[in-house]
Structure 1
Amino acid sequence: METMLAVEGLGKSFKDKKIVSNISFEVKKGEIMALLGPNGAGKSTTIRNIMGIMYPDEGTITFRNGTTKDIPRNKIGYLPEERGLYKNVKVMDILLYLAELKDYPLDRAKQRALEYLEKFGLEGKDKVSVEELSKGMGQKIQFIASIIHEPELLILDEPFSGLDPVSQELFKDEIRSLAKNGTAILLSSHQMNLVEEMADRLFLIHRGSKVISGSLSDVKKEYANFKCTIHGSNSLVLLESLPEVERVEQSDDTAVLYLSKNVDPAFWLKNLPGEMDIQELSIDRISLHEIFIDIATDKNLLKEAGEVHA
């Protein structure tokens, strides 16, 4: 796949404090790349450097064959974390104004605006001023504004924040559709369950440096040990005595058993003792959310895992 965005060796400091150091990743055409990290990790600084809001002290950022200073703005869509639209302007007027800033044909922009308003349940809101919209409606309008000009690269910073479940599904479907049609998408979000559903690859930073990068499946294989959830009346002593069990979390009749890294799940299940009370059982890998928490809180439960590369 063609590389739409390449960040190489990015470094940025404020006064004497290093905010990001040696950050390198690519976003390819038609893929969803997740940029993850706890608050203060350097995600927003990285995005602002990509957008040209600030310039890096080190490294390069290229869009196809360009550089940060001449990235074609009409080819990039951006949904910032901090939303902001002119409140006393009508919805259609603000969408057409923003499309015009991207040198996009106004007749086509109006057609796309009406299509998206209908798709997002905002039909008839084109003549309503932004200040009359609910927060969720305003968020939909800002999302439409970021994609109305058919960008080749779309940067989404916390796109699901504040949305109800129905609106989240609408956004997810549209983001997937855009990627399927060739848009390169850089997604930053703290909602790991949604990232896990959508991302093709991820790049996780902590304290300004890369911690994990790679495809979601490779990251899960490398960093996410298996866990087994058992519903039944079993003593903690029995559960902790089982082979390959590193720790147990038990609440009433539900226990989560965290298994060692190289366990064979099928073999392990076959050798569970017959006296165990098992009403329900499920086994899967720990979630991206749990990996994120482990890294963000420096628990180091995954410290033996190696680095994953894209």
Structure 2
Amino acid sequence: MIIDGLHKRYGDVVALQDMSFQVEPGEIFGFVGSNGAGKSTTMRIILGVLAADAGRVSLGDHRIDLQTRRRIGYMPEERGLYPRMKVGEQLVFLARLHGMSPQAAHDSMHRWTARLGVEERISSNVEDLSLGNQQRVQLAAALIHDPTVLVLDEPFAGLDPVAVDVMSEVLREKAVEGIPVIFSSHQLALVESLCDRVGIVVRGQMRALGGVDELRSRNGVTLEVVGPPADTRWAEGLTGVLAVDHHAETAATELLIDPAIADDQAILAAALRVGPVHRFATSAPSLTELFREVVTT
């Protein structure tokens, strides 16, 4: 799926400005940003719920139209189910709207309600379910027609840890099948563990885009060396070392390094020449720390 140069304005408010990214087959893409950043607007344009002022959305070589939209599984952030309709009947109804036969629709309904742990509630009205179970049914509605693309807006909201694990497994399984998956979430630790790539959106613009490890290390990685003396001259001038600092309280020397060009074995050898090394470990900012940095600059 290719999102290319989307622009959207509401009067004087710019909702999207040159929003561009793509999601490859079999890739799980995390779409993150503060409330109002433009995530839901982008997803609604992908689905055709909103029209962009400029730009295009395509699947493969074809611009997305009514037929290709039928192949997308969409889960809105807001509850999109009929509250006084029974779970099973509703899922079958939605599957039929996507062109499935009555038998295929019933089979798919039973398969997904069992997979997501709500099979015992298929005769219940949606409004009688807990918020977590309503969210499970929403995911079943997105999956009921065996889509070839998944677009999920805050799919993990309101779920308990067990349900989060189940939903994560489903998304991984779909990615293994070659289905591109895009989802938004404020649970950044979950995004970090689940996604292949991440896009961080700020005020309608894509401010950071790339693999999780790539983004976390884009401003350097911290290498902590415990053992060498406070005199840090042993580390100065080494390839890939961007900055050096010594912390007397922990006897640790912290090096900010560029992981693309730094040679950790050369750094270790240099440290050992001036004394024993008791700890030698790298760490990169978490996605949460990176997110704070991106949205505040």
TM class by smaller structure = 0.7 to 0.9
Question: Which residue number in structure 1 is paired with residue 63 of structure 2?
Answer: 67
TM-score of the aligned structures, taking structure 2 as reference length: 0.82
Shift of 1:229: 6.8
> How far, CA to CA, are the matches of 1:249 and 1:105 in structure 2?
68
Residue 149 of structure 1, aligned match among 132, 138, 145:
145
SS of 1:100's equivalent? helix
Residue 16 of structure 1, aligned match among 7, 12, 17:
12
Deviations 1:235-271 (A, max 9, x none): xxx6999956567999x97999572436544444552
**Relative to structure 1, is the Cα distance of residues 143 and 294 closer, same or farther in structure 2, using a 3 angstrom cutoff?**
same
Deviations 1:193-242 (A, max 9, x none): 22222222222222222222233344344x15223579x9x9xxx69999
Question: Which residue number in structure 1 is paired with residue 121 of structure 2?
Answer: 125
Contact 2:116/2:140 (<8 A) preserved: no
Q: Does 1:283 align with 2:291?
A: no
Which consecutive residues of structure 1, in runs of 5 or more, have no partner in the other structure?
299-310
Question: Which residue number in structure 2 is paired with residue 227 of structure 1?
Answer: 222
Question: Which residue number in structure 1 is paired with residue 238 of structure 2?
Answer: none
- Letter matched to residue 14 of structure 1: Y
> How far, CA to CA, are the matches of 2:208 and 2:104 in structure 1?
41
Contact 1:81/1:158 (<8 A) preserved: yes
Question: Which residue number in structure 2 is paired with residue 182 of structure 1?
Answer: 178
TM-score of the aligned structures, taking structure 1 as reference length: 0.79
Q: State the identity %.
A: 32
> How far, CA to CA, are the matches of 2:63 and 2:189 in structure 1?
34
- Letter matched to residue 283 of structure 2: D
**Relative to structure 1, is the Cα distance of residues 218 and 164 closer, same or farther in structure 2, using a 3 angstrom cutoff?**
same
Contact 2:112/2:143 (<8 A) preserved: no
Which consecutive residues of structure 2, in runs of 5 or more, have no partner in the other structure?
236-240
Question: Which residue number in structure 2 is paired with residue 307 of structure 1?
Answer: none
Deviations 1:58-106 (A, max 9, x none): 1111233443453533201111111232222111011111112212223
1:1-310 paired onto structure 2 within 5 Å:
5-221=1-217, 223=218, 225-228=220-223, 259-261=256-258, 263-269=262-268, 271=271, 282-298=281-297
**Relative to structure 1, is the Cα distance of residues 242 and 123 closer, same or farther in structure 2, using a 3 angstrom cutoff?**
farther
**Relative to structure 1, is the Cα distance of residues 259 and 44 closer, same or farther in structure 2, using a 3 angstrom cutoff?**
same
RMSD (Å), alpha carbons: 3.2
SS of 1:124's equivalent? helix
Question: After alignment, is 211-220 or 88-97 more displaced?
Answer: 211-220
Contact 1:224/1:287 (<8 A) preserved: no
